[in-house]
Each structure stands twice: as structure tokens, then as C-alpha cells.
Amino acid sequence: MNKLLWIFIPILISCQPKQQVIHYGHDECHYCRMMIMDKQYGSELVSKTSKVYKFDSVECLIDFLQQDEFDVKDTALVMVTPYDEPGALMPAKSCYFLHSKNLPSPMGMYLTAFKSKDAALATQKKLGGEVMGWKELYSGFKSLK
């Protein structure tokens, strides 16, 4: 029994959904099919079956999540790149988002993620706009268009 357990533990661990690195300048946005170029705006969704969807912006990620073809219940991870930590991916739920016409994003909705509320508020103070959490952004997304 003990030997059998050691065989299955690595298999169980490897089946856990996990994020992948975004290869900027190489990976394509799953939603709009543009090349993901800007290291301050990439985002990623990982399904419970470990399928990874990469996006060039928060707006493409949310557009994909809100379409009828994808069941949000199948989501394991929703990750965004904070503007203040280029190339990194963090859980969207832990980030704050600035909607400011003075800070363009790849798809033109002016949405930018920050790793902390303080960072988002500091940028808002300089550039104006509205700061919101993930839930607020997700539920009010259509009104921002």
C-alpha cells in the first residue's frame, strides 16, 4: 500500500491547475488573437482541467469570461499582470484596477492592474480615473465600454 501511495502522489500533484509563463512577443491572445507584447498588461485564465488561456489585456480576459461559450464555474485561476510588476502574474482577486483615460491599455479600455490598492491610488492621484477591486470591475465591466 505504501509503495502505491508514492506512485500516485506525483500524479495527483501534477494534475493541479497552475499558471504558465506568458512569452511576450510570441504568445497570442486567446480572445482577440493579437500578439501579447506589453509586459505590464498580460493576463491568464487556467481552467479546472488545466487548460491555459492567455490574454493581452484585462479587457480581453473579462470579455472571454463573460461570453456564453465559457462557464465561469470551470475556472481554477484568474491571473493578471500588475502594471507595477511587469511580467509577473498575480491573482486578479488580490489586485486593484485603475480605469483612467490617461493610461492606455492594449485594447483601448484604459484598464490597468496594480498589485496593491495604495499603488493604484497613487497612480490615480497623478492620472485621474477610478480605482476598483476585481469584483467591482467584473460586475461593472459592460458599463465601462
Name the grid cell of 134: 476585481
Q: H helices within 35-93, ranges in order? A: 58-65
Bridge partners of residue 111, in order along the sequence: 99
Question: pTM of this prediction?
Answer: 0.86
pLDDT in tens, the chain (145 residues): 555 545 544 544 456 778 899 999 999 999 999 999 999 999 999 999 999 999 999 999 999 999 877 788 889 999 999 999 999 999 999 999 999 999 999 999 999 999 999 999 999 999 999 999 999 999 999 888 7
One-letter identity of residue 13: I
- Residue 107 phi, psi dihedral angles, 5° rounding: -100, 10
Give Cα 71 distance to the centre of its chain.
Answer: 16
Sign of CA dihedral 127, 33, 92, 13: negative
Q: Around Cβ 40, how many Cβ atoms within 10 Å? A: 17
Domain ranges of the chain: 19-144
